[in-house]
Each structure stands twice: as structure tokens, then as C-alpha cells.
Amino acid sequence: MTNEIFLTKAEQLKPVLHHQAVLLAGNETPMKDGGECIFDFGRHCVGYLDIEFGTEGRHPDAPLLFSIQFAEIREELDYDPEEYHGWISRSWVQSETIHIDDLPCTCRLERRYAFRYVRIRILSVSNNYAVTIRSLKADTVSSADDSQLMPASLNEKDRKLDEVSVRTLHECMQEVFEDGPKRDRRLWLGDLRLEALTDYVTYRNYDLVKRCLYLFAGSTLEGGRLSNNIFLYPQPKCDDQTMFDYTLFFINTLWDYYCASRDEETLRELEPVCTRQALLLKTCFDENHLLDTEKAGNVFIDWNLRLDKQAAGQGVYIYGLSDLVKIRRQLGLPAEEFEREIQLKKQAVLRLYDESKGVFVSGPSRQVSYMSQIWIILAGAVSPRLGASVLEHIEKMPEAEGMVSPYAVHHYIQALIDTGQKEKAYEKMHAYWDGMIEKGADTFWELYDPKDPLASPYGGLIVHSFCHAWSCTPSYFLRTYFRNRES
């Protein structure tokens, strides 16, 4: 379903992209067939590349054929794209084979790339000439305006973490809040929610959040159900996939947006979209008020493919409805029906508590996972004391299903804070995200499991995004909860 009024609003909020040039000296060594160079821009870039080619020898009498590969982290260049056989398209690997007819020249590549490293390989020239690379220029783009970045009083250790987080967000802020500028370069609801939270304490680009909310509301599936992501071109269109948790996050994202911006007009206009989602998802529960994962369909929660999603999904439902109640109360609309629903679902989820283990279990296999505990805490279904206790117990259960993405760890940090364990949250946050910095990260990654850094739900690292929006939230935590710390 298309709502032209909403899509027009979104279009009017399209941001200006700020350009910045990053120049790099080339390599003047003449290269023949098989010659190659790797260039390091020294920082993560999102943008367009110009390569200035020169020649040596006689006048070029045949085209230059070269290949180019872009990489966000150096290790990507060690993998052969041809050997990737995972379920995500290999076309996400940023590589091209290009002919140049007339030399010397400056070659501009048409696509936008996300990279720090660039490898250029000469595939063929003629016997009469060799090529040199005189210089490279990255024309970088972002809708984040660095002159608007809010200052933060942070100690040195925190400043580094903040810098990499802000850089991650900066790179993902394009025409929308993208999930990652390498892949999928798209607006996803779960990612948007965390990017927006971080934006409110950094760039404060409220209009970009507003635009994204209107894009989701402007293109929905039959019955008004929100999709989990939106394609922008050739015109905005929702994907035909849904995720139970991402659908609900629209409600939280709208409420967070209102709290930051106090834009009541948008709250009023988009409230019906929120209420609609709540009514649609009400049918996904069994007669005991527990989430029926078959009815719920796809529930994301984390990229851990072994996860049972029942308990965590129930937590997200309560979490979403809790903000719906706030939205409706703010607008003077009745909310009792949803308050009752929250109570029923909270009572039901408590039945998943396993006293002998001291943790919540999920699904028919009574699986113990971090995500179940975390979402039941974030839902406000347990007291901070019981919440702290389940998190303590699970730490002593090595068999418990863990977290594999910064997205999941974000929720763990928030759960620690919500259960009164700020210091522990601070330490865990540093331990996890500093781990990526120690491995050379300029921007934070889509996936990072310190216990298994090579693990991939996509069947290969080469398609991973190493600048991924949902991992930018240390800035949100630092600037919201840990300002003015001595060390």
C-alpha cells in the first residue's frame, strides 16, 4: 500500500550530501600485465573514486584492462570472491573489471563504494606501453554535517570509542540511515532505531529520522503491515518481508523521535500506523498469552542462527506496546486496551522462569539464551533485582546461547544499565567494542563474536559489512550514561 502524502513528506526531507575529497599519491612504478598495487586511504571512506592513470613507453595502441577491488578491512583482500558460495549475492563484493580506451586519463568509477583499501591489478596492456597510477581521489559523501557534531566531555579511553562509533554513524548517514554503506545500503527498521538514538546525542539530524519514519509509513504491505526494510530506487518501495520485532520497533522509534524532537505533529500523524501494527501482531499468541513463533513468522533478535525466539520476541512485543501506550497517552487517546495486553503478556512471560536454573527459558526445547533474559528485562517484565540475578546466573552457564552481533550486545549493555549495573555495563561495552578497535577497526562491524571472529551467518566474511550502523551505539551509551568520567 502506498501513501503518497507520506512519501511526498519523505521526499521533501531528502538531505543534502556533504562532499569531502581525500587525496592519495599513486605509484609511479610502470606496470605491465600482472602488476598490482594496494592503496590505503588511512581511514574509512564512502564515496566515489577517481584514478589518474599515466603511461610510459610508446603511445598506447591497445586499451588498458584492469581490475579493482575495494575493501573496508585489509583482510577482505585475502579472500577470492570466486570462492564465496554463501546465500547472499556475491555481487556485494566491491570489485570491477574495467577497460580504458584512451590514456593518459582520469577514470571515475560510477558506483559509490565503502572502503579504506583499494587494490588495482593490471590485467592487460600492449607490448608498447606500461601504465602508472599518478594519484587517487576519493570524493566522500555523507548527510552527517561534522560542524553540527555535539561536543562530549569524555575521558581519553572513551573518546577513542566514541570517535569510531561516530565515524560509523557518519558513514551510514546517506540519503537515509543506511544499515551499512557496503551492504545492504538500505533502510532497515531495527538499524534505524539504534542509529536514531545515537544521532540524538551526536549530529541531532532529526529530519533524517523523520524522513525514514515517513518512508516506512508511506510504503507498507497489504493490511498496513510495516516491512522490515525499504528500497529507495527507482522509487521508495517496501520489501515484501516482515519481521515481528522490526515491525514493533517502528513504535519505539517514533516515540524516541518525539522525546528528542518534541514534534507532536509527526507523532499525531504516525500514531495510527503504530496502533495498526499492535493490532495486527496481537494475533500471534497462543491461548496462554505466550508468543506462537509460527504465527509470529520471522523474528530476528540476533544473527545467532540457533536462537529460539519465543521469549525474546515476547519481550519485544511488550517493549513496543509500552511505547504505544506512551504515544497514545501523549495524544490524549485511550490506552487501557494496550495496558491490559501488556499485563497479560508480562504475567505469561514469567511462567518461562525456571527456578532450578535461575533463568528464563524459551520454546519447546526450553533453551537458555542471553537474548531471552535481555528482552524480558528490557520489557520491564521483571524487577531490576530479578533481572540482575538472571544475568548473573547466565554468565555461569557456558552452554547458554550467546550473542553474535553488536546489535545484540547493545541490548545486553542496556539490560545491564536497566538492572542497576552501570559499571559492569561500562566494562562490558569497552571489552566488546575495544576488541574490534584492537583488530584495527576504523568503523564498527556488522558481526563480531570475540569467541569466534570468523563465524559468518552468510557463509563467508567477504560479504560482511565492516561499517554497520547498528554497532555505532557506544556513542549513545557514553554520551547518555557515562559523561564526565575520570577514567
Which residues in this chain contact ligand RAM in the complex, by CB under 6 A? 179-180, 184, 188, 190-191, 300, 446, 470
How far CA 405 is from CA of 307, 321, 453, 484, in Å, comes to 13, 25, 11, 28
Tell me phi and psi for residue 115, to 5 degrees. Answer: -165, 160
Nearer to ligand RAM, 55 or 165 (CB): 165
Smallest distance, Å, CB 217 to ligand RAM? 18
Closest CA to 310 of 366, 355, 356: 366
Smallest distance, Å, CB 458 to ligand RAM? 8
Nearer to ligand RAM, 387 or 460 (CB): 460
For 241, the 3-state DSSP assignment is: coil
Smallest distance, Å, CB 90 to ligand RAM? 15
The three cell numbers of residue 153 are: 566531555
Q: Closest CB to ligand RAM belongs to which residue?
A: 179
Nearer to ligand RAM, 179 or 256 (CB): 179
Nearer to ligand RAM, 298 or 330 (CB): 298
Q: In 3-state terms, the chain is what percent helix, strand and coil (to 5)?
A: 45, 20, 35
258, 40 Cβ separation under 8 angstroms:
no
Specify burial of residue 454 (Cβ count, 10 A radius: 0-12, 13-18, 19+): exposed
Nearer to ligand RAM, 88 or 267 (CB): 88
Give dist(CA 96, CA 178) in Å, integer: 23
Nearer to ligand RAM, 68 or 463 (CB): 463
The three cell numbers of residue 378 are: 528490557
The three cell numbers of residue 275 are: 496502533
Nearer to ligand RAM, 214 or 470 (CB): 470
Smallest distance, Å, CB 258 to ligand RAM? 23
Nearer to ligand RAM, 229 or 275 (CB): 229
Nearer to ligand RAM, 70 or 300 (CB): 300
Nearer to ligand RAM, 137 or 186 (CB): 186
Mention every residue, 6+ apart, whose C-beta is less than 8 A from residue 55.
103, 104, 129, 130, 131, 132
Mention every residue, 6+ apart, whose C-beta is less than 8 A from residue 318.
342, 345, 346, 349, 379, 380, 381
401, 440 Cβ separation under 8 angstroms:
no
Smallest distance, Å, CB 408 to ligand RAM? 11
Mention every residue, 6+ apart, whose C-beta is less than 8 A from residue 366.
354
Written as one letter, the residue type at 86 is: G
Smallest distance, Å, CB 179 to ligand RAM? 4
Give dist(CA 389, CA 421) in Å, integer: 11
Smallest distance, Å, CB 344 to ligand RAM? 28
Smallest distance, Å, CB 427 to ligand RAM? 26
How far CA 258 is from CA of 127, 255, 285, in Å, comes to 66, 5, 30
Smallest distance, Å, CB 85 to ligand RAM? 18
**Exposed e or buried b per residue across 147-180, where buried means at least 16 C-beta atoms within 10 angstroms of its C-beta:** eeeeebebeeebebbbebbbbbbbbbbbbbbbbb
Smallest distance, Å, CB 480 to ligand RAM? 22
Nearer to ligand RAM, 27 or 174 (CB): 174
Give dist(CA 68, CA 264) in Å, integer: 49
Smallest distance, Å, CB 53 to ligand RAM? 35
